[in-house]
């Protein structure tokens, strides 16, 4: 963007169609400045400013009776009309109750106001924090004939008296306290009348509750005047005129308000004006209010009346967030919002602005800046007419969906029936009945078949709505033209908002995919033709999880997994160490955020006490030793899964416990992902296995178990890849046990079988009781897992297994006794080894899946010395897939198939695969 300096023209040289673009950094945001009468006025949003004409010049620069400034999509006159100054010399600031809460904060407001270099300032203030509530409470007590209203009013007086004494001195303090005493006396008289009548009219109530703004405006005016700056205060009831349209809404009368503002300015000349927010008058000069949170609305109305350069809303947050930061910890501050986006967000309950604040400023494209009075370094959020291809700081707007908002405590009402189709006036009758009971319809959805209409209303209003509809359509329900009027309670709305959603393909698909992958059901959907908003109705219990899921997918592209680790033994502990080492890199490079929220063993467990950050994996062992509680699997799962800070939960079962495996079905049904090296579920009874797999395939909940066969080797994924691409499996044959691979790789002529087993046990390759390995049961489980992956419906008992545990030793009382007796049975295997060796072969303990004959076997086989199975070393596994594609030369997968590191690595790989399925970069 070009920056031009402006030389002072001579008095005789006219300036015609000069384009000037000046930039200045104000409050952390760039603003555009325009020249007006030799002074600098300012404009925001990065629009190009054109000074279209100037009739006269002076030595100071351009001067004219009227400058027409054309800004992209904007035109307005900066003039002094009949004594009412208008235009870019004005800045409007609004300070809420929190900003005015104490004497120190009022002083801060004064300092900020004095620091604004604008030629004219209009400062709108709310009552001190909690004062409006205190005044409403006075009314309630007086109407209820509760004598304590008098002492409550004394409390209001004392609050303002003490604040004034901290801020003011001398005549200013005396004058303010005199006015305060007078107002309190009037309020006492009015409240006494209300107490006697037991009732207060709306105008009486509005008069009472508007006093907080009067007092805060007066105090701030005196504080500003102490600095020597001329300042006056304005009772907005003398200027703002509104027409009440309902019990909670008013419409400004801009024409009459402008007339009164013009009159006010003819009597007051100060360049700094402090005005009361929230309060106004009716056309009959009866005091009224702009209703709850109306001070924002006041600021927008005043900004519109004076055609200000900007309206700044000072609050206690750094700006507008992409989602409620109390619900989404990763929510970020938005630098810019369009008027339409802010409108949508405010409607859906986001803490942005009073919902009607945007209307007055949109007419003149006056930007609204949201700033934090407690963090002046934060640039805030600017709301303006969004340029089509750029935002305020010149960066492209990457997020198609700008932000998300939610509304809780809703009920969905569904009116359904075949008799509705094609019948004119049905919708009118439905919503006429709703209007008659004064209910607020939040959202409407109707199928194109006209068979049903559903809409959302606040839950507190749904009983009256249901009764009204039942009454209105009693005849149609009896006749069967309507089948039902159904109420679905405990609902919430989740709204996605973004101006760039319009005409962008795939927004809805991505939104619903994120919701589905969080295992959340959508009850109703609505989208306007503007495409700025997509609204979903969810169960209230799912709303926060859904909010986090879609925010993660759209805004941050970050996949956060809440993890529960079951079984911190050898494999589990190794996995935790791997997670600790890689977590930071995964988050930085791939936007994968893994947070362990709980660790449980069979006797004790620990749970994250932060609710967000998870367990510190660098100290989990120490925490387990110091802060562990008794293990309770149900509590463990509940805490890990129902932590609503995260949309996705995964439980990692690192045990070999069949009781744990029996819980997988229930966990998956609840939307909890499961990852495990535990073979018990997939090799257990067939019917539960089939039920588990059917559930997995029908949902977006994932069940990964790569490490159940071959530890970290890609056995399951290779098999699935072959099947999914249409290959036909003929046979799978492999050495699946790292222990037995080591034993037979080292079982040669010069060695006894028992010596090799003892060596393997000493090296840690076997289970504590080597019979667990030598029995062949573990290999049989892997065979049955692979057979079932191929579609064979086999039970574990269908697999013949050659046990290497001699029959007399199977009942040995201990592992030590078994090892002592094993040498007595070396002879049989020594003979088999000699026979194989004499034939140029070796012995290998293998598992086989024969898909053609639909069976499996685990046995000791002989292979030629040039066979791939004969050339293993250490504890490697090797698996050969014979398929229609790989018939003559089987597909071989070989590598380490045992050990905590590789098994934990296989589990870790499944965790990352889950993250990619849920939206992380693949």
96-384-313 Cα angle (round to 5): 10
For residues 606 and 620, give the distance between their C-alpha atoms in angstroms, rounded to a whole number.
Answer: 9
Residue 384 corresponds to which tokens in the numbers above? 């303006």
**Catalytic site residue 638?**
no
End-to-end Cα separation, the chain, in angstroms: 39
Interacting residues of 561 by C-beta distance below 8 A, sequence separation 6+ = 592, 593, 594, 595, 646, 648, 649, 650, 911, 914, 915, 918
Alpha-carbon torsion (677, 678, 684, 689), positive or negative: negative
For residues 474 and 481, give the distance between their C-alpha atoms in angstroms, rounded to a whole number.
Answer: 10
* SS3 assignment for 215-264: HHHHHHHHHHHHCCCCEEEECHHHCCEEEEEECCEEEECHHHHHHHHHHH
Tell me the three state secondary structure of residue 129: coil
For residues 33 and 47, give the distance between their C-alpha atoms in angstroms, rounded to a whole number.
Answer: 10
For residues 770 and 763, give the distance between their C-alpha atoms in angstroms, rounded to a whole number.
Answer: 12
Tokens 């805060």, residue located: 216
222 φ/ψ sector (left φ>0, alpha ψ -120 to 50, else beta): alpha
CA 158 to chain CA mean position, Å: 43
627-631-637 Cα angle (round to 5): 105
E strand spans, 279-395: 279-281, 287-289, 310-315, 336-338, 368-372, 381-384
Alpha-carbon torsion (565, 569, 572, 573), positive or negative: positive
Cα separations in angstroms, 807 against 752, 770, 810: 19, 15, 6
Tell me the three state secondary structure of residue 131: helix
Residue pair 95/124 in contact by the 8 Å Cβ criterion = yes
- Residue 97's DSSP bridge partners are none
592-596-602 Cα angle (round to 5): 145
Residue 510 corresponds to which tokens in the numbers above? 């991505």
For residues 123 and 121, give the distance between their C-alpha atoms in angstroms, rounded to a whole number.
Answer: 6
Tell me the three state secondary structure of residue 306: helix
Tokens 């930039």, residue located: 23
Q: Which of 225, 291, 327, 782 is catalytic?
A: 782
For residues 574 and 369, give the distance between their C-alpha atoms in angstroms, rounded to a whole number.
Answer: 51
CA 586 to chain CA mean position, Å: 20
Residue 109 corresponds to which tokens in the numbers above? 């407001």
- Residue 846's DSSP bridge partners are 859
Strands 559-566, 592-600: pairing is parallel
For residues 138 and 145, give the distance between their C-alpha atoms in angstroms, rounded to a whole number.
Answer: 10
Q: How many helices (H) and strands (E) does the chain have?
A: 30, 42
* SS3 assignment for 811-841: CCCCHHHHHHHHHHHHHHHHHHHHHHHHCCE
Q: Give the H or E element holding residue 76.
A: strand 74-78
Residue pair 470/509 in contact by the 8 Å Cβ criterion = no
Closest CA to 360 of 444, 421, 300: 300
For residues 214 and 191, give the distance between their C-alpha atoms in angstroms, rounded to a whole number.
Answer: 18
Residues annotated as part of the active site: 782
């Amino acid at each position: 963007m070009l920056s031009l300096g402006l030389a002072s023209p001579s008095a005789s040289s006219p300036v015609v169609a000069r384009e000037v673009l000046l930039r200045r950094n104000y409050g952390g945001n760039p603003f555009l400045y325009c020249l007006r009468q030799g002074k600098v006025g300012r404009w925001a949003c990065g629009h190009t400013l054109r000074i279209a004409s100037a009739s006269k010049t002076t030595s100071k620069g351009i001067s004219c009776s009227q400058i027409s400034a054309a800004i992209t999509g904007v035109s307005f006159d900066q003039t002094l009309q009949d004594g009412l100054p208008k235009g870019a010399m004005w800045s409007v600031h609004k300070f809420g109750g929190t900003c005015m809460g104490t004497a120190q904060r009022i002083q801060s407001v004064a300092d900020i106001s004095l620091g604004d270099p604008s030629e004219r300032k209009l400062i709108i203030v709310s009552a001190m924090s909690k004062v409006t509530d205190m005044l409403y409470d006075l009314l309630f007590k007086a109407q209820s004939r509760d004598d304590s209203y008098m002492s409550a009013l004394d409390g209001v007086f004392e609050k303002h008296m003490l604040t004034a004494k901290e801020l003011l001195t001398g005549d200013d303090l005396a004058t303010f306290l005199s006015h305060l005493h007078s107002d309190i006396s009037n309020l006492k008289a009015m409240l006494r009348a209300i107490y006697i009548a037991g009732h207060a009219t709306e105008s009486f109530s509005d008069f009472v509750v508007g006093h907080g703004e009067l007092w805060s405006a007066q105090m701030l005016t005196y504080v500003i005047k102490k600095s020597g700056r001329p300042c006056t205060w304005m009772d907005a009831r003398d200027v703002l005129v509104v027409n009440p349209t309902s019990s909670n809404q008013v419409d400004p009368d801009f024409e009459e308000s402008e007339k009164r503002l013009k009159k006010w300015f003819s009597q007051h000349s100060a360049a700094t004006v402090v005005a009361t927010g929230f309060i106004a008058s009716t056309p009959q000069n009866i005091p009224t209010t702009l209703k709850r949170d109306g001070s924002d609305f006041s600021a927008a109305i005043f900004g519109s009346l004076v055609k200000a350069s900007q309206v700044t809303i000072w609050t206690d947050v750094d700006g507008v967030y992409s989602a409620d930061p109390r619900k989404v910890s990763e929510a970020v501050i938005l630098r810019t919002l369009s008027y339409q986006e802010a409108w949508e967000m405010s409607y859906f309950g986001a803490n942005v602005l009073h919902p009607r604040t945007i209307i007055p400023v949109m007419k003149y494209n006056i930007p609204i800046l949201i700033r934090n009075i407690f963090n002046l370094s934060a640039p805030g959020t600017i709301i303006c007419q969004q340029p089509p291809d750029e935002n305020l700081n010149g960066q492209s707007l990457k997020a198609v969906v700008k932000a998300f908002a939610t509304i809780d405590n809703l009920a969905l009402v569904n009116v359904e029936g075949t008799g509705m189709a094609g019948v004119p006036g049905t919708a009118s009758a439905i919503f006429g009945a709703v209007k008659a009971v004064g209910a607020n319809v939040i959202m409407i959805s109707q199928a194109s078949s006209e068979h049903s209409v559903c809409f959302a209303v606040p839950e507190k209003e749904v009983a009256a709505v249901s009764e009204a509809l039942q009454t209105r359509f009693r005849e149609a329900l009896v006749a069967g033209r309507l089948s039902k009027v159904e109420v679905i309670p405990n609902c919430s709305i989740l709204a996605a908002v973004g101006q760039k959603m319009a005409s962008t393909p795939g927004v809805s698909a991505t939104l619903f995919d994120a919701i589905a992958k969080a295992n959340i059901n959508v009850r109703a959907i609505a989208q306007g033709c503007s495409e700025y908003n997509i609204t979903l109705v969810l169960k209230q219990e799912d709303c926060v999880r859904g909010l986090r899921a879609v925010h993660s997918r759209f805004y941050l592209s970050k996949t956060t997994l809440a993890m529960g680790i079951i079984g911190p033994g050898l494999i589990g502990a190794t996995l935790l160490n791997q997670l600790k080492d890689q977590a930071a890199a995964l988050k930085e490079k791939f936007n994968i955020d893994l947070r362990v929220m709980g660790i449980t063993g069979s006797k004790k467990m620990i749970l994250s006490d932060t609710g967000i950050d998870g367990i510190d994996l660098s100290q989990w062992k120490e925490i387990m030793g110091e802060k562990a509680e008794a293990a309770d699997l149900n509590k463990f799962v509940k805490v890990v899964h129902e932590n609503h800070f995260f949309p996705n939960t995964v439980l990692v079962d690192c045990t070999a416990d069949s009781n744990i495996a029996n819980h997988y079905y229930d966990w998956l049904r609840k939307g909890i992902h499961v990852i495990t090296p535990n073979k018990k579920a997939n090799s257990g009874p067939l019917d539960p296995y089939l039920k588990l797999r059917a559930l997995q395939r029908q949902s977006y909940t994932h069940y990964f178990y790569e490490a159940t066969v071959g530890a970290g080797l890609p056995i399951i994924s290779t098999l699935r890849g072959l099947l999914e691409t249409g290959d036909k499996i003929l046979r799978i044959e492999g050495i699946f046990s790292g222990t037995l691979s080591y034993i037979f790789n080292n079982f040669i002529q010069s060695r006894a079988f028992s010596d090799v087993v003892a060596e393997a046990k000493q090296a840690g390759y076997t289970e504590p009781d080597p019979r667990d390995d030598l029995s062949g049961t573990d290999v049989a489980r892997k065979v049955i897992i692979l057979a079932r992956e191929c579609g064979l419906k086999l039970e574990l008992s269908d697999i013949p297994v050659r046990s290497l545990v001699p029959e007399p030793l199977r009942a040995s009382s201990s592992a030590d006794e078994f090892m002592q007796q094993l040498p007595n049975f070396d002879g049989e295997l020594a003979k088999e080894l000699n026979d194989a060796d004499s034939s140029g072969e070796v012995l290998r303990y293998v598992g086989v899946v024969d898909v053609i004959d639909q069976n499996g076997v685990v046995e000791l086989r002989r292979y030629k010395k040039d066979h791939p199975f004969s050339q293993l070393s250490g504890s490697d596994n090797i698996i050969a897939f014979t398929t229609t594609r790989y018939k003559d030369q089987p597909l071989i997968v070989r590598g380490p198939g045992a050990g905590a590191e590789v098994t934990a690595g296989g589990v870790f790989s499944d965790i990352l695969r889950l993250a990619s399925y849920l939206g992380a970069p693949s």
